[in-house]
Amino acid sequence: MPTPSFYLNFNAESCAPYHNDDVANDRAELISGDGKVGNTVWKLNGHNATVTESRETFDGTGVTRLTTTLRNNGDTPLLVDCLSSAFVTNIGAEGRRWYEDRFIIHYCHSVWQGEGQWRKATAEELGLYPTYNHGHQTAFRLYSQGSWTTSRHYPLIFIEDTETGETHYFEILTGSNWYIEVSAKGYMENSSLCVLLTAAFEKNGGWYKTLNPGETYTAAPAIYGRVKGGFEEAVAELTAYKRQTYRTAFPTGQVPVCFNDYMNCLWAQPSRDRLMPLIEAASDAGCEVFCIDAGWFGKRGEWYKHNGDWKPYDELFGEGGLQGILNEISSRGMLPGVWLEIETADAASDFAQAHPEALLTRHGRPIGRGQCFVDFRQPVVRDHLMGVFDNLYGMGVRFIKNDYNHSTGIGIDPLNGEDESMAEALRGHTEAFYAFVDEVISTHPGLMIENCGSGAMRCDHTTLSHFHIQSTSDQEYYDRYPSILQGMLAVMPPERAGVWAYPYPVDFHQMPEQGDVYPLTGENVKATVASCADGHQTAYNMVSGMMGAMYLSGRICYANELNKKLISDAISIYKENRATLAGAVPVYPTGLCRMSDGGHTTLGLLNKAAGKLLLAVWQTRTEETDTSVDLTPYLTDNATITRTYPGLTGFGCSLNDGYLTVTFPKGNCAAYIEITL
């Protein structure tokens, strides 16, 4: 059986792990507890210290959350350079050996515009193989350094056991540096896999901690468990856990349909002339939030210099200024929203100039060049930004898109010369930021805050749990989104996963052609509008948006009547199914695709309690028109198709004996199919 324990290293010694097997060596003595539920306390005989492991379980899941606390009971300082969040041993201790292709390890790559890219391989394919004869020396490692916690990998792995038909899952819960290692423990053939999860490791970001007599240190929590089945079943358990541990709730009880004017739309160049047609179109389509993205607080092309001040630049918005535009949004039945990046301030901003002490530093110098970071450990920062929220809230703003477009790097300077590592100082700043966000939400009723980080460069669950919605990507090309969407729904609930849907896109490189007012000005823009006329591109976008928290954009004011109906129909269907969405788990009838793949791929949202499967089928970069999907693992014999989208000529579908056949009029199309189980 897998054995959860801890791994601890003192700087004064060479590698010296403490875990259950060391009890026989008189290194760690069990004082109380059984290592399974509640608290387990260990006495470290080599040092006058104790370790307390606190375990918590969650209804309807097999998830255990482990929190590890080290206490110095001695009379001299204790210097620690590694403390695990979890250390789970004895995985595959019985049966076929771990190196005999028994285990498949699933892990997730993530980069800007390419998030959620899952891969799987055997242990040996990942560099974990037996070496002999003094114990095994190989390992598979994932890690992150800095405040972009998911810009390389997501802090989660699945270990699928082909011998037992079970899957183990492990995730570390932190908003700063983290490290996961899969290795083998034991001697020669008598060995098994073990997993180390830590956010406190000198070799990853230079972490260390000095504990004075009587002091304690609590590691970042970790979750682990195992489930009968494979990838889908493990994702379902984690989805249920994450729903239970969000700190936020939607004011109306359900995720709103939001329009944001940035992606493939205004590209941070708002004005009254540009916004009003979009506000009208979004309202007519049924949107419930209209968010003005970047650029509302400064001259066009120079607005970023005012990051940190967050004062409306009323000249952009004509009579009434920004308040007038917010009133226009409200008068059409939508909640106004604006973009912020509250964790940064431009070095040239009034705030940074007046308060240089408010900026995060490393080696005494502000981190970043023009765009610097503010320090949430400082009262002046919290007071200033609370005033910003108070002002915007008083103007009627009820939605904030909080972006985060840079990383701090491995760590920051401690406050007031404290004796702690830069990595530990970063954790302290991060937790101060969470506390600030919690206070903003609790003191501004009805306010929703989206978390964005150049897409999903900071989408660890610890961060997400303090927000309402998470951006899944900044991907600008709609036919690359299905791969991202599939992968991101494996790490966050679908109702929290913001998905861009941008019919009538204006490409980033077409920005100079937009002009100062709305009429079409450039030939490329005219060509884009013409290419959308038949509705297929619009339908593809809307199908993607219906599979998460719909985040509409694009120059939808250019839409002809056919496309207007496609947009409004999709939003109506989406609203009807929001309750289903909020209780669904993702399923992958055709597996996960890669961003460069052509052909068809699928994503389902399965809600057994509601008796529904909401299915997206995408046909990408291919001229194939017929697709067959095996849905037998999910459906009963009485399953029926109850609704399809879009209602365009040439689309069709049928369900026979659990197999779905979809017909498309051409390549690069998508369909949304609702099935009653």
The answer to whether residue 247 is domain-embedded is no
CATH code: domain of residue 619: 2.60.40.1170
Residues 606 and 647 in one domain: yes
Burial (0-12, 13-18, 19+ Cβ within 10 Å), 417:
exposed
Residues 222 and 279 in one domain: no
Residue-wise pLDDT tens digits, 621-664: 888 789 999 999 999 999 999 999 999 999 999 999 999 999 99
| Residue 509: per-residue pLDDT | 78
With cut-offs at 50, 70 and 90, classify the pLDDT of residue 13. very low
| Measured distance CA(270)–CA(313) in Å, rounded | 11
Residues 304 and 364 in one domain: yes
Residues 64 and 151 in one domain: yes
Residues 498 and 366 in one domain: yes
Residue-wise pLDDT tens digits, 143-166: 999 999 999 999 999 999 999 999
With cut-offs at 50, 70 and 90, classify the pLDDT of residue 204. very high
| Measured distance CA(359)–CA(350) in Å, rounded | 13
Residues 419 and 557 in one domain: yes
pLDDT surpassing 90 at residue 551:
yes
pLDDT surpassing 50 at residue 276:
yes
Q: Is the dihedral of CA 532, 534, 537, 542 positive or negative?
A: positive
CATH code: domain of residue 571: 3.20.20.70
β strands within 37-93, DSSP E: 38-44, 49-57, 64-72, 78-83, 86-91
Supply the DSSP string of 510-539, one letter for each residue.
GGGGS-SSSS---HHHHHHHHHTTTSHHHH
Pairing of strands 64-72, 216-218: antiparallel
Residues 406 and 488 in one domain: yes
CA 290 vs CA 96, 260, 311, 495: distances in Å: 57, 6, 19, 18
| Measured distance CA(544)–CA(618) in Å, rounded | 9
Buried-state track 59-87, b at ≥16 Cβ within 10 A, e below 16: eebbbbbbbbbbbbeeeeebebbbbbbbb
The total of other beta-carbon atoms located within 10 Å of residue 505's CB is 24
Residue-wise pLDDT tens digits, 328-352: 999 999 999 999 999 999 999 999 9
The total of other beta-carbon atoms located within 10 Å of residue 118's CB is 22
The answer to whether residue 424 is domain-embedded is yes
Diameter of the chain measured on Cα atoms: 80
Mean pLDDT of 519-538: 82
Q: Which amino acid would we find at residue 510?
A: Q
Going across the sheet that includes 669-676, the strands are 585-587, 599-607, 612-620, 669-676, 640-645
Residues 427 and 494 in one domain: yes
Residues 14 and 131 in one domain: yes
Residue 585 CA, chain-centre distance (Å), reads: 16
Q: Is the dihedral of CA 395, 315, 449, 424 positive or negative?
A: negative
Range of the domain at 290: 258-582
With contact defined as beta carbons under 8 Å apart, do 220 and 46 qualify? no
Residues 515 and 657 in one domain: no
Element (H, E) at 216: strand 216-218
| Residue 25: per-residue pLDDT | 37
| Measured distance CA(77)–CA(70) in Å, rounded | 13
The answer to whether residue 251 is domain-embedded is no
The answer to whether residue 610 is domain-embedded is yes
Of 396, 425, 402, nearest to 412 by C-alpha is 425
Instruction: State the total domains in the chain.
Output: 3
Burial (0-12, 13-18, 19+ Cβ within 10 Å), 658:
middle
| Measured distance CA(131)–CA(126) in Å, rounded | 14
With contact defined as beta carbons under 8 Å apart, do 400 and 386 qualify? no
What is the 8-class DSSP label of residue 442? H
Looking at every residue in the chain, the average pLDDT score rounds to: 92
End residue of a domain, out of 548, 582, 616: 582
The answer to whether residue 321 is domain-embedded is yes
With contact defined as beta carbons under 8 Å apart, do 670 and 501 qualify? no
